[in-house]
Each structure stands twice: as structure tokens, then as C-alpha cells.
Structure 1
């Protein structure tokens, strides 16, 4: 009898017992999703339908017809079919189709249609659009670390100048919102299952943008410089400056505002040294992280730090060709097996670094 009651309680709860681990891994912060079982609120604060929602989405009488019409209008749009907003509208249509086929009657289908329609109509009318993701009634925030990576990629100028990097970024945002909808309806396992595709799209966007940036910065037709003693020396003995990020950036920070005063002094000194390097050399700035935490968050953080240092050096007069990349926890300098986290963190410090490699330009 006790076992049957436990099964009944789990069945009546708004989240399954086995889902708690998935919920915790999703990093859910919405207080309404951190409670389950009897007494869970279903008021407006918890996402209950209000009159404003009804008036907004009441026109969506037949979701199938609305989606077919939207797809036709989107396909007829002139211009680049792979632009950020066109890709995002298409991904919202796809998300609505998936939810509709899954018999999801919680309102996400209508909200996804609404997002696709808003983008499509703005593109048709030439109206300005915002890349900010909206707050939707049926979507909770999951994996804040992945959203941080999204914002890091979106804020990098290289992404805006690389059309191929935009579609996977736009779809990653929609997929992360769809994962947030799964979490909102307390299907935490389903929410977690969407994340590998989100991560793959983010990685694809970041890697594509990096390739675009390197292609722009790498001269293809410039005449080769004369091979003098300085260039021969650099070619024979590449030098690497390794900077510990613990002394460069505040914890978990990677933008210019996160550079510590001691870090600025280090980078100023590096800039002074690099400005004396012959022009036949180039720099490769590579960010690394330790193995702790989420793999894709570490890749994003290491990439952001490398880009930040590249821009910092350029702003201080370093004119050598530069490329920047993030490698996450690859190429560790030390292997630590301590069990206490604070001791382990100290041991892994050498792996948290940015390397500035000086190499000769091929003749």
C-alpha cells in the first residue's frame, strides 16, 4: 500500500520523481519549477493564461493552416535566405511544428507561431527587428551557462560579419527556448535531451565565425617579405607567452570589463614587447580552461578571453596579424586528481591560461 501511494503521489506531482536530477542539471532558477507535488501554484505568476495572452494568440485558430501560410510567406521573402532573422523565423516554425505533432496543448505552439509571424511580417515590411529573445509565458530559463555562451557569440563582431555563422546561432536560441518550454511544463528529461543539438549549433556558429575571421585576417595575395635574419630566427624558434587567466580576469569573466588591474599591467607589458617584433611575424592567441564545469561553457569562456586579449593588444598598438581561438580544456599542462575542490582548483591553475604564440609568416 505504501508503494502504491508513492506511485500515486509521483503521478499526481507536476514533475516526475526521476526528473529531479535532470532539473538540477538544467540550472532551473524559476521558483515555481523548484516545487512539485500537492500545493504547487497554478496562478498567473506560475504561467497561467491571462486575458492579455488570450487576446494576443486568439487569432491562431488553426495552427496547421497558420504554419503553412507562414512557411509560404517566409519562402517568398527576397534576399538572403540564410540571414539571422530568416533562419530564426524558420526555426520557430519548425519548433511549432514539432510541438504540434507532439500534441502539446500548453500554448507553446501559439507562441512559436507568434514569434515566426512577427519576424516574417517585419521582414516583409522592412521594419527593424531586435535580436533579443522575448520572455514567453510557457518558457522558463534553463542552462544559464549556455545562454551566456549565446550572448558571447552574438556580441562578437566576427559573427555579424560571417553570414554562415548566423543560422546555427539563431536555431540554437530557439532550441534553447524550446528546452525551456519542456522545463516549464516540468518535462525536465525532454528538456535535457534537446541540449546536445543546442551545443552543436553553438559550436558550429563559433567555429564558422572563427574561420571567417581567420580568412579575412590572413593575407592571400600580398608579396612575401624578404627573408632576413629576424624572420629566420622567428621561424626556427617560435616563442609562446603563457598568461595565467587567474591573474588576468576576475572569476568566470572574459570581457574587457573583467580584466583585473594586475592583468592590465601584464598585458601592457606584453604589448610593449610585441610592438618591437618584426613585421614578418604573426600572433596566435589561444585561450584554455580547466576541465571543471561544462565543456561547452569552458570553450565559450576560453574563446571570449582570447578575443578580449586580441582586441586589448590591438588597442595598444600591436599591429602584427593576429588570430584568436578558444580550446576549452584541451592541451592541459597538468593532470590533477585531488578530491577537495579548492585544492583541485589550485592544482589546475596552469591549465587556465591564454597563450600568445609568435610564429614567422611563411615566405
Structure 2
């Protein structure tokens, strides 16, 4: 694994960007993003705002006030301020500030604030966090090769044992996401401007992890058990079904591009989990519609997630089940069905729980 980190350090140091054909170099795979002029789609699949997005981010009435409040809360947190999640929250705040100062009114400012707020609230309350990167409406995937490097570094045990390597890794993820936003709004040249900092942060993360390994003088047996990776600080990962699957879809063909990205990151995290664990994958639906149909759909989605993780290298024992509308996270009583469906969105989910393996 150390050899792999060394290769990444050299590869990142040698990476350079030319000044032409920015869109092609970004490695964009989203077909809707490559369409321009007449015939270019303007629907929700292409990133058009929907009522669910408005409902989630409408409370952010003043981005400047929200950013000041978040920065104050983050600064007041006790304990290690250089950890993975603290750094990630700070980088989300910085990304929101940059986009706001640039006059970006596409929704990324609100989404970045939302991500920083989610992390900060969890750090304040001591609740589990997932290191998986979110699927955001205003972001498309760029430079899949760099995302592969992100996941490779994140899954290396050396990074988990090296706190100094985690902040640049976290910020590289946010910066690469911000580049994806610039590409989403078809500003391909601006997207590329983020890449040198992404590469520098990834190089720092890999170099620091190597330095940490080289500085260890005592045998591993004398050091006690290694601390769990930041990605595994949680025992349960909850994935929103609406961001994983197309509407009413549950097989692998129905997995959205953003859903595949989430599952890829979850798989990367889970491949570092010791073999003494197993996974319980549970699908849930909302209470709308036929109960038997919802039960079947929730079960199909859980089994699809199980198969996806298996085919992407997760070797832990797994069980998958569907619970239909059981264990709702929210209880909504709206009269209008469209509003009710949006309100019930948190109940449509797939939970991946890490438990100790049964003897």
C-alpha cells in the first residue's frame, strides 16, 4: 500500500493542464452536460430546480448570515480542529464564500452551506458522520481519474493513522466537487482552475501519510490497535432512495449516476473494514401507495445495493431485506399529494448498518 501512495505522489506531481479543449479534458460523462444550444434539455434530470430542493434550502434566507453563524459554531467546537470532518466543514464554508463572492446564484452556495451545517451539527451533537461525498443538484462529476485517486488515498490505512493527511484530503474532495459545479453550469475553464489545488492537496495527503508511516519506529504490536478510519466513525450509513434510484425503480439499471458515485464511495470505505464485521442492508419506502408494492420495491432496492457492493469489491458478509414503510423517520400530514411526497422523502431510503459478525 505504501508503494501505491508513492506512485500517486509522483503521478500528481507530474500532472499538468493545457489551455485548450477544457471540456474534453475534464472527462465529463454526463450526457446532458455535453448538450448545448437547441435541443439541450432543461428538465430535472439536467439539473433544473425542483420543489424538493426548494423545500430543503429555502430556510437559508441569508447566505451571509448563515456563513457567519456556521463559522462561529465551527470555531467554538472543542477538541481536535484538524480532523477530517472539521476540515471538510471549513472547506465547505470556504467554497460557499467563494461562490457567493463570485455572484453565483445557481444554488451551489446554499448546497455548500447545507453540507457545512450538516457536518457542524453532527460534530456538536457527537452523532455519526459518513465520509461519503454527497450527490448535489448543481454538481456533475469531472475528472473521474482524480476521484479514483481520492478514493484510493481515503481507503489507505496509512491515512487513517495519520491525522495530518486528512485535512488536505477532505479539502481536495470539496474542491473537486466545486469544480464539478463549475462544469455543471458549463463554465469549463473555471472548472479547470480548481484542479491544481485539488492535485496539490491530494499530493500533500499522500506525502503526509507516507511520512507518518516512515516516522513510526516502534513495532505495530507495541502501539495497540490502530484507530478506525474517519470514514468508519459511523455504524450506519443512510442513503436517500431519491438520489440513488430513478422514480419507482429498484434494479441496477435504475441507479442514477449520482447514486453510483455514492455507492462507489461507500464501497471504498467498506473495503477497509476488518473482516470481523458484517453488513445489514435495509430498504424502506414511504407510506404512499400499495403496501405490498412498497415492500417489494424496498426489498428490491436493498438487494440491488447488496449486489452492487459485492461486485465492487466489498467482501464482508451481507444480508438485505425490505421493510416497506416501517420505521418512518418523519410523519407528514399534508393534504396535497405533491407536498406530502416531498415531505416523506426521508422515509424513502436504504440503510447500511455495520455490525459485529456473529460467531
Give TM-score scaled by structure 2 length: 0.55
Tell me how far 1:106 sits from its aligned partner. 0.1
In structure 1, what is the Cα distance between the partners aligned to 2:27 and 2:217?
Answer: 38
May I ask how many residue pairs the two structures share in their alignment? 203
1:44 aligns with 2:36: no
- Alpha-carbon displacement from aligned partner over 1:222-253 (angstroms, at most 9, x marks no partner): xxxxxxxxxxxxxxxxxxxxxxxxxxxxxxxx
Tell me how far 1:218 sits from its aligned partner. 6.8
Tell me how far 1:142 sits from its aligned partner. 0.3
Tell me how far 1:37 sits from its aligned partner. 1.4
Give structure 1 stretches of 5+ with no counterpart: 1-18, 220-254, 256-363
Larger radius of gyration: 1
In structure 1, what is the Cα distance between the partners aligned to 2:125 and 2:210?
Answer: 33
| Residues 120/56 of structure 1: CA separation in 2 closer, same or farther (3 Å cut) | same
| Alignment match, 1:197 | 197
In structure 1, what is the Cα distance between the partners aligned to 2:156 and 2:39?
Answer: 45
| Alignment match, 2:143 | 143
| Alignment match, 1:214 | 214
SS in 1 for 2:21: helix
Tell me how far 1:217 sits from its aligned partner. 4.7
| Alignment match, 1:342 | none
| Alignment match, 2:311 | none
- Alpha-carbon displacement from aligned partner over 1:84-143 (angstroms, at most 9, x marks no partner): 000000000000000000000000000000000000000000010000001000000000
In structure 2, what is the Cα distance between the partners aligned to 1:218 and 1:151?
Answer: 28
Tell me how far 1:202 sits from its aligned partner. 0.1
Tell me how far 1:79 sits from its aligned partner. 0.6
| Alignment match, 2:249 | none
- Alpha-carbon displacement from aligned partner over 1:154-200 (angstroms, at most 9, x marks no partner): 00111011111010000000000000000000000000111000000
In structure 2, what is the Cα distance between the partners aligned to 1:96 and 1:113?
Answer: 6
In structure 1, what is the Cα distance between the partners aligned to 2:37 and 2:210?
Answer: 47
Tell me how far 1:20 sits from its aligned partner. 7.8
Are the equivalent residues in 1 in contact too, given 2:158–2:209 (CA < 8 A)?
yes
| Alignment match, 2:121 | 121
| Alignment match, 2:167 | 167
In structure 2, what is the Cα distance between the partners aligned to 1:108 and 1:99?
Answer: 7
Q: CA RMSD in A?
A: 1.7
1:112 aligns with 2:112: yes
- Alpha-carbon displacement from aligned partner over 1:236-271 (angstroms, at most 9, x marks no partner): xxxxxxxxxxxxxxxxxxx9xxxxxxxxxxxxxxxx
Are the equivalent residues in 1 in contact too, given 2:35–2:41 (CA < 8 A)?
no
| Alignment match, 1:334 | none
1:56-75 pair list within 5 angstroms: 56-75=56-75
Tell me how far 1:34 sits from its aligned partner. 1.3
In structure 2, what is the Cα distance between the partners aligned to 1:69 and 1:175?
Answer: 22
